[in-house]
Structure 1
Amino acid sequence: MSQRKLNVVLSQAQGKDPLKRGLEEEIAAALLLEPGIDLGIVAHLYDLESGHTGRLFLESLPGDMVVLSWLYPRAAYWLLDRNEISGNYGENQLSPPAEVDEEEESEASPAQEKSMGIGSAKTADRVIYCLDMRDSRDFRAFVEEIRRILKECRQRWSEAEKIKQPAVVQLGIGILSKPANGTAHESFPKEGMLTIPARRWYPVIDYSRCTNCLECLDFCLFGVYGVDSLDRIYVDNQDQCKKGCPACSRVCPEQAIMFPDYKSPAIAGAPVGSIGGLKIDLTKLFGGGDALVIAAQERDKELVRDGRSAVGLTVGIPKRQEGKADGPKDDIDNLMDALDNLD
């Protein structure tokens, strides 16, 4: 087997939180001493714009990769994917999985299976593991997990070597050949990779859940979304997105739209699931109102700020919501009635 190293990239937190910086430094110091690891450090993933040295560095990395960040793994993975840093999703043993009822999982109907997301348009032949540095305060937990991942990768590399076709040997200086794994770092100076970019705000689409229903396109009135040449929804004008507004995420029926910096875990990219087939909207239980109503209010607020007229629930309302108020009460409605009667 040829000598290979595992690329590990640590994405720093926004701001200067001493506890986060301390954990980052402990992890980095430990990984520098680990054999078989090639470590790189970049600024916060969400803020890396096109042309930033940190993003160029990520784009240059070949092979399997581990990315440590202060984001949920699902958000980090699809954030990389939207920046054309793609690969197969690697499971880790630190982040808790989505809570899914066992009976629901085993008795999934064909209709439920058919509603799976459209997936990434193009996936590189490698594995990307995303670790959330909020999962532990002990740097050793991350070092041990990366050791486990390295062992898993080496097994996969060994299997790939057995079926690998013989390489074509070219005589010459090799000016056009790609640098060996680990030498690419020399062309990316540390000061450039760690340059703090401006804070950004834009949606990230989880294509493993997105069914291309285009409800976000209909609801958003700021030109953020578009449809590509394959008729797939994508974020077309991210700078048109209104800072702090996650309205389109609330409208998405599959919870496929994430805002990694948002305070609510479900919107920020936490694992999503359901319990007993009943998806509970916690905003109803804690006085927040219906998610669609909240989304319309958030959108109206931004429209007024732009000098436009508020539209309320008259524009871009998902067809699945039309006439919903006229139907029979569901479990949530009954629960809310019971809570109201307690007052």
Structure 2
Amino acid sequence: MISATRSATHTIVISRGQSRNPEKRGLEQAIADAVGKIESVDVLVIPHLYDLPKSSESFQKLSDIEGDLVVVSWIYGRAAHWVLDRNGIRGQFGEVQLGAPDDDEDSDVEATPETDQDDTPVVDRVTDLHPRPDRQIHCIDLKVGNDPTAFITEVQRIIGHEPSPADTSLPIIGGKIVQVDEATSRRWYPVIDFSRCTNCMECVDFCLFGVYGVDHGENILVEQPDNCRKGCPACSRVCPENAIIFPQHKAPAIAGAEIEGEEGFKIDLSVLFGAPATGDDPIATAARERDEQLLLAGRNAVGIDDQLSKRQAEAQTKPKDTLDKLIDSLDQFDL
């Protein structure tokens, strides 16, 4: 006898937002309902990724999944990828086209001759030394729009599903929707992008709250995430590789937006206009933010120590990048 059902081969994860905003909840539900009707698709609805502890039921269910994942959440795709990674859900970056820059906008960048690449020293990243599994993890950012159709279409593209009128009328075949309801509280802690991290230990030396540590292989890790001071992103400012993410920070570059090349340049502009009015460089800003948290914790401020002074001096001797040149040009205007 031929069975009418088929085992699911794709898993779509919907990570709910922290807000109870009915429009946001409606968007989440619309996506879950639509993709749940696709044959051979399982849908897992979980609380906000960033707030879940590693021991949560949600991560336990995710750890049982061996195949590719499509994760839809309210944080930047890069941030979501590394939140999953720190909780043992690992894989390669899967392509996401929704919300990506248009090809026309990037054509000039792609056509630019790579004249200086040969002179760039090769630096080992943690993922070079410890490669992740081959499976694809596609992380879609719900902040890029409010039309469920756009997200549903992107999921269909990723899993190679050709939509048909029957998708909206037939019952679920082979797929199912599982919702995990577990209590969470809002958290604030750093997430490391190991595709950028070089294990330089700057964050270990800078943080005075015991957040960072090293594993048995002498690799950096966020050892005590809940020791982190709420709202403080100081360590991300001193990271020389921009590898530290705070997914809930208001500045896109700190929250996990892509910051490579020209697209990163555009994002850095938004950070520029939200920067402290004092005009401090990132290291001075980081030192001030750290001191504020030390004082709030009843400890003594340390200011810019010898190590930070050395970092400042090194930064000042580096050639100016695109953003530095723009700032210099803005200074010439009589605003």
TM-score, reference length from structure 1 = 0.79
After superposition, give the CA deviation of every residue in 1:145-180 in whole Å (9 maximum; x if it has no partner): 11111128xxxxxxxxxxxxxxxxxxxxxxxxxxxx
CA distance 1:23–1:278, shift in 2 (3 Å): closer
Contact 2:202–2:238 (Cα < 8 Å) also in 1: yes
Contact 2:81–2:139 (Cα < 8 Å) also in 1: yes
Contact 1:116–1:208 (Cα < 8 Å) also in 2: no
Structure 1 residues 60-99: aligned runs within 5 Å? 60-96=64-100
Contact 2:251–2:270 (Cα < 8 Å) also in 1: no
SS at 2:241's partner residue? coil
> Separation in 1 of the partners of 2:41 and 2:47?
20
Contact 1:247–1:296 (Cα < 8 Å) also in 2: yes
CA distance 1:323–1:197, shift in 2 (3 Å): closer
Whether 1:297 aligns to 2:291 is no
Which residue is 2:122 aligned to?
114
Contact 2:10–2:159 (Cα < 8 Å) also in 1: yes
Which residue is 2:255 aligned to?
268
Whether 1:130 aligns to 2:136 is no
Which residue is 1:167 aligned to?
none
Which ranges in structure 2 are unaligned for 5 or more consecutive residues?
Answer: 1-5, 162-173
Shift of 1:324: 5.7
Aligned alpha-carbon RMSD (Å): 3.2
Contact 1:23–1:139 (Cα < 8 Å) also in 2: yes
Structure 1 residues 10-159: aligned runs within 5 Å? 10-96=14-100, 101-102=109-110, 106-112=114-120, 114-115=122-123, 117-119=125-127, 121=130, 123-151=132-160
Which ranges in structure 1 are unaligned for 5 or more consecutive residues?
Answer: 153-180
Shift of 1:66: 0.6
Contact 1:220–1:316 (Cα < 8 Å) also in 2: no
> Separation in 1 of the partners of 2:132 and 2:316?
42
Shift of 1:114: 1.1
Equivalenced residue count is 306
Code of the aligned partner of 1:17: N
> Separation in 2 of the partners of 1:92 and 1:3?
25
SS at 1:234's partner residue? strand
After superposition, give the CA deviation of every residue in 1:242-301 in whole Å (9 maximum; x if it has no partner): 111000011112111000011111000001124499896766666342111111110000
After superposition, give the CA deviation of every residue in 1:27-69 in whole Å (9 maximum; x if it has no partner): 1121121112111100000011122211211112221111100
CA distance 1:215–1:103, shift in 2 (3 Å): farther
Whether 1:236 aligns to 2:223 is yes
Shift of 1:315: 4.9
Contact 2:94–2:139 (Cα < 8 Å) also in 1: yes
Q: Percent identity?
A: 43
CA distance 1:281–1:25, shift in 2 (3 Å): closer
